[in-house]
Structure 1
Amino acid sequence: MTEEAKVTAAQEAAADEQAAHDLSNVETIKKGDIVKGKVVKIEDQQAIVSIGYKYEGVIPLRELSSVSVGSASDVVEVGQELELKVLTIDDEKEKLVLSKRAIDSEKSWEKLQKALETGEILEAQVAEIVKGGLVVDVGLRGFIPASMVERHFVEDFTPYKGRTLRLKVKELDREKNRVVLSQKDVLEEEYEAKKQEILNSLTVGQTLEGTVQRLTPFGAFIDVGGIDGLVHISEMAWHHVEKPSDVVKEGDKINVKVLKVDPANERISLSIKATQAGPWEQVSGKFNIGDVITGKVKRLASFGAFVEVAPGVEGLVHISQISHRHIGTPHEVLKEGQEVQVKVLDINIGEKRISLSIKETEEAPAQAPRAERRGDRQKEEIPEAQSLSLTLGERFGDKLSKFK
């Protein structure tokens, strides 16, 4: 026998002796024991584990995780050390069934109870999308109701599969094996903290870029960095706005000016129109004295009519400038909504005032000479006198002749 063969034989004998020694010293294990083992092989529906016993044990797929998994390789890997619970042992058949799930569950109840009491934030991956919400693995089967996933309504949860969420424990019921979690609570807390930070940093008059979040009949809510402010419908444009959707739509990026900040009530008042040139600034240089322009009668008053000559710009037509003939009230010749031609008599942008005239756009009616008009009136009076004289003569003629 060669020297090398002698060494190999000696090593094998030593190994056999050590194996025999190990087997003689293997502790007896029984159902319910907690043991440590190392994954030596992974099959599709189970993992093979060595726990230092005389034969290896198996962890069935259902005992690897509290949630449904497709393969053992989704949960463990070769060489990984695990703490396991003995479910079944049969030395005659060399059958040893172990559970990772049982140990994970036991530890998780303690961890989750502590998280419930302290408000600790946990991280877990979405394992399943089920009716009414999501399922995550937190050592136990954790359920996140649909209403507790986000701060906003979610219609389709498909993209959440495999996503890691930050969660708070909402409810624990060990008897019913029920674990309810919420990501919404985490997001709400962060939103509130961010909101206060933003509220304290805003100043009146500040101009910000925001995103239109949602529309209501009375205005639009704008996200200005994690907090929503309201642009009232009256602050959406310089002209009259019937409904917010006439000016903006959800998702629009717009500039807004801060009008008011109320940290106590967590309210921010914003304006779109304050970031834009006002209607009077827009018409500066557009109109000149003597211009004839088209306008619309907006309001009638006892002293005249207000005519809109540009969006948000109204000028006054004094009652004396409405018609060439005398009128007692503007309502005699005008009505609201009527389009009219007006002439610019005076304009003062600084005071936001325009004086207008309607009659200056119309030709004055022709008039006869004054003497002629007076003669006409005399002619009209003579026949009346003659008629009166004839009537008296005819009626009292006989009686008058006696006096003669």
Structure 2
Amino acid sequence: MASAENPELWAFLRSLCPGEILSGTVAAIERFGVFVALDKGPEHPVFPGVGFISIPELSWQRFEAVSDVVRVGERVSCAFLYFDTWNGEARLSLRATQPDPFQTLADSISVGQTLQGQVTKLVPFGAFVQVADGVEGLVHLREMASTPVEAPEEAVRVGDAVSVVVVEVDREGRRLSLSRRQASLDLR
């Protein structure tokens, strides 16, 4: 999309600053993201909105369907991320306007602390455990039980309530490493 074809649109998009909060209405939901018709600024010549939110930028929480987060016609306020010059659109983030539950939890926990959680997903190398609303950590297979296991199913099932010990908190990577093995040793 050439800037000469849409000078008003390009001038508007160039005027935006990263982090700026923009308001609008959800215009369309697609499998790859959400189009937002922004309150200020021109119409988009091709898309149903000048703003676009990719799936990962919708929420800090895990969700099944986009409609669990937003609906067509809903009013939203989003942070401007960058000007997508290929599509001529404002890339937006809804989650950037909300506190990051991982960082909030990281402020209140420490390595060695025992937490309570629920198993949410089993993978070949371990299990994910939700320890706070919107925060999951990984219990690696080697940390699954006091005796070695070859598969997470040998120790836990999805939905199980478990005690885990915080092994590592990676703030930048937003990763939490947990241990059921250490939690079981603490119980002795």
| TM-score scaled by length of structure 2 | 0.71
The equivalent residue for 1:296 is 119
Distance 1:329 1:358 in 2: 14
What amino acid does structure 1 have at the position aligned with 2:109? F
Instruction: Name the CA shift for 1:196/1:310 in 2 (closer, same or farther; >3 Å).
Output: same
The equivalent residue for 1:128 is none
1:342 and 2:157 matched: no
Q: Aligned-pair RMSD on alpha carbons? A: 3.0
Partner of 2:113, secondary structure, is: coil
1:236 and 2:45 matched: no
1:199 and 2:13 matched: yes
| TM-score scaled by length of structure 1 | 0.37
Partner of 2:131, secondary structure, is: strand
Distance 1:281 1:206 in 2: 19
TM-superposition CA deviations, 1:136-167 (whole Å, max 9, x none): xxxxxxxxxxxxxxxxxxxxxxxxxxxxxxxx
1:357-372 maps to which residues of 2 (within 5 A)?
A: 357-362=179-184
Q: How many residues align?
A: 171
Contact 1:233 1:241 in 2 (8 A): no
Determine which structure has the larger helix proportion and give its number: 1
Distance 2:82 2:98 in 1: 18
The answer to which structure, 1 or 2, has the higher relative contact order (CA under 8 A, 6+ apart) is: 2
What amino acid does structure 1 have at the position aligned with 2:54? H
The equivalent residue for 2:36 is 222
Instruction: Name the CA shift for 1:233/1:252 in 2 (closer, same or farther; >3 Å).
Output: same
Instruction: Name the CA shift for 1:264/1:299 in 2 (closer, same or farther; >3 Å).
Output: same
Query: Shift of the alpha carbon at 1:295?
Result: 2.3
Distance 2:51 2:137 in 1: 34
Instruction: Name the CA shift for 1:359/1:206 in 2 (closer, same or farther; >3 Å).
Output: closer
Query: Shift of the alpha carbon at 1:250?
Result: 4.1
Task: Name structure 1 gaps, 5 residues minimum.
Answer: 1-191, 367-404
Contact 1:262 1:268 in 2 (8 A): yes
Distance 2:148 2:118 in 1: 22
Partner of 1:280, secondary structure, is: helix
Contact 1:238 1:311 in 2 (8 A): no
Distance 2:132 2:41 in 1: 37
Distance 2:51 2:153 in 1: 43
Distance 1:236 1:348 in 2: 24
Contact 2:28 2:36 in 1 (8 A): no
Contact 2:21 2:79 in 1 (8 A): yes
Determine which structure has the larger strand proportion and give its number: 2
Distance 1:285 1:212 in 2: 34
Contact 1:316 1:356 in 2 (8 A): yes
Instruction: Name the CA shift for 1:345/1:260 in 2 (closer, same or farther; >3 Å).
Output: closer
The equivalent residue for 2:145 is 323
Distance 2:26 2:183 in 1: 49
Task: Name structure 2 gaps, 5 residues minimum.
Answer: 1-5, 43-49
Distance 1:348 1:297 in 2: 19
